[in-house]
Structure 1
Amino acid sequence: MLHRPNWDDYRFVLAVARSGSVSGAARELGVNHATVLRRVAAIEARLGVELFEKSVRGYEIAPEKLRLIEAAREVEAAVGAVERLAQVGDTALAGVIRVTSTDTLCAYMLPKILAHLSARERDLSFELISSNLHVDLARLQADVTVRPTYKLPDDLVGEVAAQMRFGFYARSHEIPEDRWLGLTGAIGRSHAAHKLREELERRKVRFTAASDSFMSLKALAEEGMGRVLLPTFLGNSSPDLVKLEPLIELPSMPIFVASHADLADAPRLRQARKRIAAALAAQEPHLLGVAA
């Protein structure tokens, strides 16, 4: 008869999944390296599957095992919240939710949202991953992405939570019209950056400086280095910047709250997305730059 692994077995698997290494899991659990190897090998043997791909980068979750790992994480969350009752019509959230977004949203919007959610659910904690680059949700580097984009990649499933706008700013109206800051890297591939670049090339204007971060561009503009395109909630937050007449008209940009397609229906992640999306919707006036 097949011996069923108990919850303690899964703790070792999830620790390796979180840290990406046996040594990291050992530190987290307070055991030695050999114990982790033995417990992971044992559960893989019992289940008849290989949960991890071993590479020079460490232990990575095999893509086809994402659902199994998330199921184990739901068990972990349920064990942590076993004495709690869900509110009527609402599911309690527990465990660790990894949220990734742009550096600007991570700094200016998400901390307050996540703090509010965490205050409501004492068994819930977050990892906030700030990156303007694509974070690979297929490897469980994150559970939920908050992404400003006009269209989600095919491997993500989610909904539009709110809209945001861009505006044009400078330290003063006296900054010359031929002094501009450019957008590079991931933000430089956005629709707004592309339209701005087209217009400035048409006017034969060269950038005086550039950055791959809106927060860095804001700081450069505050030093008087040039005019800049910024999310309105970021530009409006600066007492050192004034809003300029639009150089070009830009449509508002949707902000999606999404998960990897293979995990989008996991109850815990679906509930997390729902609550983050609702909190973002409440902030839409600030994101659109129309809040008082």
Structure 2
Amino acid sequence: MFEWSDLRYLLAVGRTGSTLAAAQITGASQSTVARRISALETALGLKLFDRLQNGSRLTDQGQALMTQAEAVEAAILGLEEMARQAHRRLSGVIRFTMAPEGADPVITGPLSEFMRRHPDVRIEMLATETYLDIAAGEADVALRSGAPPTDPRLIVRKVDELAWAIYGSADYIARHGAPARPQDLAGHLVVGAEGRLDQLPQMRWLAGQADRYACRVSTMSSMIGMARAGAGLALLPEMNADPHPELVRCLPNAAPATQVWLVTRQDVRQAPHVRALIDFIYETVRAPPRRSVAAG
């Protein structure tokens, strides 16, 4: 059986009429070209070239094989072009999961832009408080907050560290004043957390500072709503709270920042459309100077 790669030397010598010119085209040495042509002739049991003083000339057998080699070359070039087109025009379905409160313009903006650029990619948003099992195939890509997943089957990429601050409504601040130091929270009504939200490091930090709770809620949207209504101060991600003009930011960066991660698994990561989405989110979400996401 001959080496498929030797066909390129047959084509080069057949088109140029010499091993020297073929060497220049292929980037190989003249001796390599001559050796590969000899190996091809031996493997096929055919004489492909007549060696002349001023070069090499195709025999009838060589000419017939040259025609077939050109067809192989055309097929290979066609495959390469198909691969390039597939890379340029991504397609497929991506199941993307995060917490419901993370499905805001921080993420939906980049996702919408990605789908605009790649109309054949469909993203199924699985917004749920429950952590879907990426390793088991319940979703393809997740945006997660907190400590990075440690499952060795997962590929984890850090997006950013997101800032938190204490917020209160303008009305509440006018009535009770703004805390200047974390220890001042002990004199204020605070909107507390319960359920999974209460397990966040930021809420544990808040519990060490505050002692008067106006209420406890289980979702970030409820916490924002209570703070906007003037029920008390709330510890909120800056990007989730800053769009609300009635909220006044206090004590920026007092609470620990949240690390946010993109999570997928190895077999999914190899898919061009998934890899492109992860790269796109990484470049767009991490770019703004101050942002926050409720990740799931």
Q: TM-score range by the shorter chain?
A: 0.5 to 0.7
Alignment correspondent of 1:106: 103
1:149: how far off? 1.7
CA contact (8 A) 1:97 1:125 kept: yes
**Structure 2 counterpart SS, 1:85:** helix
Q: How big is each residue's C-alpha offset from its partner over 1:117-142, in whole Å with a ceiling of 9 and x where there is no partner? A: 00001101111122233122234331
1:190 paired with 2:200, answer: yes
Give 1:138-149 correspondences, 5 Å limit: 138-149=135-146
**What does the per-residue CA deviation read over 1:23-48, in whole Å, with 9 as the maximum and x for residues that have no partner?**
xxxxxxxxxxxxxxxxxxxxxxxxxx
Residue 285 (structure 1) aligns with: 289
- Deviations, residues 150-203 of structure 1 (Å, cap 9, x unaligned): 322425322112221101101131454421011222221111111111222xxx
Amino acid at match of 1:208: A
Task: Please state if 1:123 is matched with 2:133.
Answer: no
Q: 1:236 aligned to 2:242?
A: yes
Judge conservation of contact 2:158–2:259 (CA < 8 Å) in 1. yes
Q: Please provide the CA RMSD for this pair.
A: 2.6
Say yes or no: does 1:152 pair with 2:158: no
Q: Give the match for residue 255 of structure 2.
A: 250
SS of residue in 1 equivalent to 2:286? helix
For 2:85, the equivalent position in structure 1 comes to: 85
Unaligned runs of 5+ in 2: 1-81, 177-186
1:227 shift after superposition: 0.4
Instruction: Give 2:93's aligned residue.
Output: 96
CA contact (8 A) 2:143 2:263 kept: yes
Q: Is 1:212 aligned to residue 213 of structure 2?
A: no
Residues 7-156 of structure 1 correspond to what in structure 2 (within 5 A)?
Answer: 85-86=85-86, 92-154=89-151, 155-156=153-154
Contact 1:103 1:131 in 2 (8 A): yes
Question: What is the match of residue 160 of structure 2?
Answer: 162
Measure the CA separation in 1 of the matches of 2:121 and 2:223: 34
Contact in 1 for aligned 2:140/2:264 (Cα 8 Å): yes
Pick the structure with greater CA Rg. 2
Question: How far apart are the structure 2 equivalents of 1:222 and 1:245?
Answer: 17
**Equivalent of 1:181, from 169, 178, 191?**
191
* TM-score (normalised: structure 1): 0.61
Q: Distance in 2 between the 1:250 and 1:128 partners?
A: 30
Q: Number of residue pairs matched?
A: 199
Distance 1:158 1:210, change over 3 A: same
Structure 1: segments with no counterpart, 5+ residues? 1-81
Give the superposition deviation at 1:288.
6.3
- How many percent identity over aligned positions? 22
